[in-house]
């Protein structure tokens, strides 16, 4: 039905990108409204009829900017609580939502008393994902939250970093553990390092304002930074040497086993008488076949 625009109250207002809003206005002006907004009927002051906007804030504002007085709307009969949830889920489910909008939606549901299971059911996410997001929200880890939602850092890796606290060494150790356990791979490791550096220098929050004071660069601070990097490199070298020693031990043991005729006969009986090329080249450097 056609609803007067001045009788609609916005339930869950949000800021909209100016360029995106202008695109909506131009589209409606050119071809009209393709999808009506959704509202719920409510009683206003003195018994006057008003409507609560559930879905379509951008379309409604576009109609207002075009000087329209009414707008096509689908009127549904729902409670205030259900209307809020419908509005929130509609924002989250948009094709191109911003990461902070999704996180704000989960936070609003949490603040209204919903547990992780109920939130997961309402917005179509797994319970484990919602639980992890709530942990990051409760810790104020906005930078990590945005990085997780944008796919820069896996959620389990972000939780590992949070568990390390604010100690730089502990955070770097957590990052190393996440890499070694397979939680971080390739580009994700570099992206995680960038996020952590910004988190340490600018704070956990993405809010605009005065950033955390960055220490002045002095000769002593440069020396400490250099020493930390040298120690990190030494640890990597030690780990590489340990891995090399273990590999040599395995190769040596395998070579001795392959010299045992009984062992090779057993392998042939099981159809396992050949080695992968990579391993064979190390067991028999001269090219001898097993």
Taking alpha carbons only, the member of 217, 241, 240, 221 closest to residue 229 is 221
Q: What percent of the chain has pLDDT over 90?
A: 7
- Of residues 181 and 210, more confidence is placed in 181
User: Has residue 72 got a pLDDT over 90?
Assistant: yes
Specify the pLDDT at position 95: 44
- At 241-270, the pLDDT tens digits run 898 888 888 888 888 888 888 888 888 888
Question: Crossing angle for the helix pair 127-138 and 155-163, nearest 10 degrees?
Answer: 30
- Of residues 174 and 264, more confidence is placed in 264
**pTM (predicted TM-score):** 0.42
Specify the pLDDT at position 133: 81
- At 190-200, the pLDDT tens digits run 777 787 777 77
Residue 281: other Cβ atoms inside 10 A: 12
**Lowest mean pLDDT: which of 58-62, 98-102, 178-182?**
98-102
């Amino acid at each position: 039905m056609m609803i007067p625009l001045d009788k609609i109250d916005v339930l869950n207002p949000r800021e909209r990108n100016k360029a995106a809003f202008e695109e909506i206005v131009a589209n409606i002006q050119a071809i009209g409204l393709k999808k009506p907004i959704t509202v719920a009927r409510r009683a206003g002051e003195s018994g006057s009829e008003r409507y609560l906007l559930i879905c379509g804030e951008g379309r409604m504002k576009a109609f207002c900017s075009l000087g329209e007085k009414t707008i096509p709307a689908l009127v549904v009969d729902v409670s205030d609580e259900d209307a809020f949830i419908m509005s929130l889920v509609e924002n989250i489910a948009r094709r191109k939502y911003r990461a902070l909008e999704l996180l704000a939606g989960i936070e609003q549901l949490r603040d209204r008393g919903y547990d992780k299971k109920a939130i997961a059911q309402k917005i179509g996410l797994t319970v484990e994902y919602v639980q992890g997001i709530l942990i990051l929200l409760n810790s104020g880890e906005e930078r990590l939250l945005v990085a997780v939602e944008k796919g820069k850092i896996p959620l389990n890796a972000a939780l590992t970093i949070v568990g390390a606290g604010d100690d730089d060494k502990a955070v770097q150790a957590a990052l190393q553990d996440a890499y070694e356990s397979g939680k971080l791979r390739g580009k994700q490791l570099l992206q995680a390092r960038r996020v952590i550096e910004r988190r340490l220098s600018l704070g956990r929050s993405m809010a605009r304002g005065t950033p955390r004071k960055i220490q002045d660069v002095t000769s002593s601070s440069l020396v400490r930074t250099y020493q930390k990097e040298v120690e990190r490199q030494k640890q990597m070298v030690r780990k590489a040497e340990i891995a090399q020693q273990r590999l040599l031990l395995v190769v040596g043991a395998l070579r001795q086993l392959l010299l045992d005729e009984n062992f090779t006969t057993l392998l042939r009986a099981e159809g396992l008488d050949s080695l992968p090329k990579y391993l064979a080249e190390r067991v028999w450097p001269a090219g001898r076949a097993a």
